[in-house]
Structure 1
């Protein structure tokens, strides 16, 4: 059994993938080829924003956004304590200070009440200038943007949406990667929309920022790549990856609907035995992960062993809170006790999730879990 079955996806769409890759090989426009330009237009239309700028990976996408806003030394950037490392890493990379904020147990996303408390504390302390909130659409469910946007407006902060795990998700009809002043995503293979290597994208409605992002992606270019008007990066999506993503975008919504059915079946069979994900009213998750909560770390170990004994994969996202990462020890700015994140890191477990899980597979997985926690 596969945790995220990319082989099955390839087999089902093999002729389309092979033809798309072959067309790039024949055209030999491997960097910034025609397919990249076409994909950016399609992605912007899909999300519902004016501009999409592709780049080399999701981490670069986040860093490019902070560089566009000239975030640096003395600035505070608020980041959920429960997320992948890059959400905070890029803050330190540009010289700013990540301020980690606890999450809501029900959604795994940043807790707006704790966010506002953190902003107030930083402003009162006066050591840093609050500048940006990074809201992560963790495991596929959008963050609480209604409340987060209110907070950003009240305190004059920019909103950076990290939609790496949420691409294709939505609140009502509004898509993930359209909520931030700048939004980003990752095309890492296991993401809801993933390529066959690394890739990422940045989204915005701001014309000036879009032009700056395109410059920063290519060594701070001006009129051309040999006219360098600022310090930038070398961060480009190659044409083969764009061709793969173009094919996948065509069946993305179909796959996401299938994942939603898988998630509902999981929840029906597990509810009462373990903690199951709660999707907010009018929210649609892209289901990058299906994550359950066990009673404690001992019960999680017991369930993982039972699953492994039956040849069923599982993963822990994430083992360690951001505020416990050694990389931040010299710059850690503590504003909270992080009780929820610390607790969830001890109890969370992610199960196989992809569109091709059959009902028999789901029943087999859930039977093992239910028996293990009896």
Structure 2
């Protein structure tokens, strides 16, 4: 949920809660004031009636619809009693709510009960109209303030949205200095300054790492190449004893291994630094078929049966070199760790690529916690560097794919999810 929607939603909820409490309170308060006004008017009317009763007999008091009645009473003097009662009105042929006051008075030594009733229909209509008017005003106020809040928030958060947009498109290998939208808000200025400082530091670190990678690639490969060439010349000299030949062979193997480690580590560094910016649409099926064709002789020689099941046409947008490395490492691992005359299966669907192979005898599965970590070898294969799956993991992370491993029915399953 966006922040502006979050704030607007909370604003509307709180406003609605306040309105739900405020409207009934307004209604009750207004009703109390109106009833108080009616009661006060009836008290004044009662005083006038008491004054008139001193000169006019009670039977001479006649009022329209019996709104005022004066009757003899045997009760002693008590305080005034007010109540609201529904009374049928003949002229309107309906029941109308009335405010009624009962009061006992003593006139010339005689007790009388004065009953005064006032129709509340006008007050109720007024109260209803005021309530509807207030509810309408509150609703308009909430909607208006909500729209104003959204409009102001959009303008206020424009610089922040601009920062987010620029950061989404930022790439340390291609982007230069970022120009943010001018703003007068101190917090956004602080954020822009912090991001600018962070970007500058990242650019410096990236340049340093890139220079190191390039220097290491040049400086290390040269002595390794010299070492290998001199070793080959040494092997051609004579006489060489059998013991010396064994030592030279071991040194040669170590040199080749060192050369492979150097190239692999440099490749990992380049992937981490995103030094493969060129991307294009790659048909995964075609890339797999090319790799399978390259391993055709090895598969035939070892009598390994490789089955393919390409259910969907799948395209990925990535660097072709890295995709070849990813698919090549997974396929070569499956071939390397499959015994002769066993099976390998390659499945391709719209959402995933799965490569499975029969496990070697005595193997119950690989340690998943160490599987994609650097130099974590899970076999004693002499040519394994423990970096192949680490490279695969870096590539899938670069393109926001996902790679998983599972072991079922004596088979290893490596699955790359494209979504």
Task: Pick the TM interval, shorter chain.
Answer: under 0.3
Which structure would you say has the larger RCO, counting Cα contacts within 8 Å and 6 or more residues apart? Answer: 1
Q: Per residue, is there more strand in 1 or in 2?
A: 2
Larger radius of gyration: 2
Q: TM-score, normalised by structure 1?
A: 0.23
Q: Per residue, is there more helix in 1 or in 2?
A: 2
Q: TM-score, normalised by structure 2?
A: 0.22
